[in-house]
Structure 1
Amino acid sequence: MLKTDHLNVDMFEKFAPRPGERALVPELTPKAQVALMCRMLFAEGWDDHIAGHITVRQPDGTILTNPWELTWDEVTASDIVTLDDKGNILDSNWNTTPAIGLHLQLHDARSEINVVIHNHPKWSGIWANLQETPPIYDQAGAYCGSELPIYNEYLGTFENQATSLTAVEALGDAKWALLAHHGALVVGRDLRQAHLRAATLEWRCRRAYEVRLAGGAEPLAADVIKQVSLPDPNGFPFLWEAMARRELRRDPNVLS
């Protein structure tokens, strides 16, 4: 029997960082946070060459995104591009992907979404190509719940505004989706929440494929998934900071 009683709201309130406590990461500019997010997700398997894009809406309505020309594991803070809400570049000589329209439409359609992530990860990409929803076999795969829609109407690439708008409408109010024959899409309120969702999705997909190759097993029951899903809407305590510190150890120049 899984021990699930430790995953409760009281635990998250008890261990939530409080004012005056030791900082878990150095003070980071918004652009440094986005650059770190690129590095962190690259390490999680969101690493299809120069494909993929992260957008983060700022309080003033501008949007930060990674440049088209760079891989996620080489992006630094100074490379991050600022866009207006129409996608116009405000402060960079880098380019943005033509598929940025999908992100802009999502930000426009859902006011609660400040982070949008799209790439072609290995493990979730397998299930997207199978057009199947991966079962959940362990606690780490259940952190964000079980519902996972598949957008299975491949109409072309996302630089076509009609195609991207169809994907936005199909996503509805979901927090993530598999894009058939394409990749994965994750949205979130902030970087911490979006990171947990992206990492959980790839873990879930990897474990499900490994279990299938091993001959199959009984997935977690729906009531168990509900018990172990994290109650904190802002992600797993300390996880974002821990993964950020790992990237800072690997390459402190990410902040430059």
Structure 2
Amino acid sequence: MNRYEGLNQAIVDQFAPRPGRQALLPELSEKAQVALMCRMLFREGWSEHIAGHITWRLPNGNILTNPWELSWDELTAKDIMTLDEKGKVIDGEWNITPAIGLHIQLHALRPEINVVIHNHAHWSGIWANLQKVPPIYDQAGAYCGEKLPIYNEYTGTFEDEHSTLSAAEALGESKWALLANHGSLVVGENLRQAHLRVITLEWRSKRAWEAEVAGGAQPLPPEEVEKLSRIDDNGFPFCWEAMARRELRADPNLVNDD
């Protein structure tokens, strides 16, 4: 990943370190970036055993994804699988989830979406089971806007082609969704944007649940949420790198391709 790939250049010009400063991350292969993403999001609560899948469509049309057999906190760069645009394995030593069809459908329906992430997340999963949209109570919960659809036509898991197409079409132009009695879904143009959306959704859901347990509170007004949500298009400066460095400190070998 380039030093500031995916960031709005105006933000970089205003806040970036002066030329000559140390790079925020070492050079990382594309597979290493997916492995890092899995580790980072596992720590955020997207961690239901071996459930969940991340896909990242590359400029050449190939798609990187995590293997079926491994949990997100144990896989490394060498475990990441490469698929063609139809979901056929072209590189890798593992299997892929039968539910990969949801991702393939989303990538096909929305050319601007290069990253698709699904898991049975902790905090947003509570709201998915309640079939309610969590209110926004603070700044960190507002970074990616207020609209959060609930896909509530539960038909089981996502192995069936018709159910995956239905879910993909129901998402429409949304950036994320709660899947009723199932889990959470986030899409993005790049890894940085998708990461911000996941961590914002989980933070928003966690704070909303805590407020509910505490007896309720006053959500942020929609106009304030709109002001804060503008950051979503630009990425949060340096957040992806900071969370990636945390995982590299814990396991420097996770990015090794061999």
Normalised by the shorter chain, which TM-score bucket?
Answer: over 0.9
Number of equivalenced pairs: 249
Q: Take 1:136 and 1:12, find their aligned partners in 2: how far apart are those partners?
A: 28
Deviation digits for residues 214-244 of structure 1 (CA, Å, limit 9, x no counterpart): 0001100011111222435131000000000
2:5 counterpart residue number: none
Tell me the CA shift for residue 44 of structure 1: 0.6
2 CA distance for matches of 1:21 and 1:210? 40
Relative to structure 1, the CA distance from residue 9 to residue 60 in structure 2 (aligned partners, 3 Å threshold; closer, same or farther) is closer
Unaligned runs of 5+ in 2: 1-7
- Deviations 1:138-180 (Å, cap 9, x if unpaired)? 0000000100000011012101010010001100000000000
CA-to-aligned-CA distance 1:71-120 (integer Å, 9 cap, x gap): 00001000000000111111112000000000000000000000000000
| Residue 249 (structure 1) aligns with | 249
TM-score, normalised to structure 1, is 0.93
Q: How does 1:126-205 map to 2 (within 5 A)?
A: 126-205=126-205
Identity of aligned residues (%): 69
CA distance in 2, matches of 1:178, 1:15: 34
The 3 A distance-change label for structure 1 pair 232 and 134 is closer
CA drift at 1:21? 4.8
13-22 or 108-117: bigger deviation? 13-22
Provide the secondary structure at the position in 1 that maps to 2:186: strand
Does residue 207 of the first structure (1) align with residue 225 of the second (2)?
Answer: no
Q: Give the secondary-structure state (helix, strand or coil) at the position aligned to 2:187.
A: strand
Where do 1:14-25 residues align within 5 Å? 14-16=14-16, 21-25=21-25
**Residues in 2 aligned to 1:117 and 1:180: alpha-carbon distance in whole angstroms:** 16
Q: Verify the 8 A CA contact 1:192 1:234 in the aligned structure 2.
A: no
1:19 CA drift (Å): 7.3
Provide the aligned C-alpha RMSD in A: 1.7
Name the residue aligned to 2:74.
74
Q: Quick check: 2:53–2:65 contact (8 Å CA) kept in 1?
A: yes
Q: CA deviation at 1:16?
A: 4.5
Report the counterpart of residue 95 of structure 1 in structure 2: 95
Q: Which amino acid aligns with 1:36?
A: L
Mapping 1:211-230, distance limit 5 Å: 211-230=211-230
Q: Is the contact between residue 83 and residue 89 of structure 1 (CA under 8 Å) also seen in structure 2? A: yes
SS at match of 2:193: helix
The alpha-carbon deviation at position 9 of structure 1 amounts to: 9.4
Deviations 1:28-82 (A, max 9, x none): 0000000000000001110000000000001110000000000000010000000
Q: TM-score, normalised by structure 2?
A: 0.93
Give, in whole Å, the separation in 2 of the partners of 1:43 and 1:161.
31
- Following TM superposition, the consecutive aligned residue runs of length 4 or more in structure 1 with deviations greater than 3 angstroms are 8-13, 16-21
Gaps of 5+ in 1: 1-7
CA 1:250 to 1:89, structure 2 compared with 1: closer, same or farther past 3 Å? same
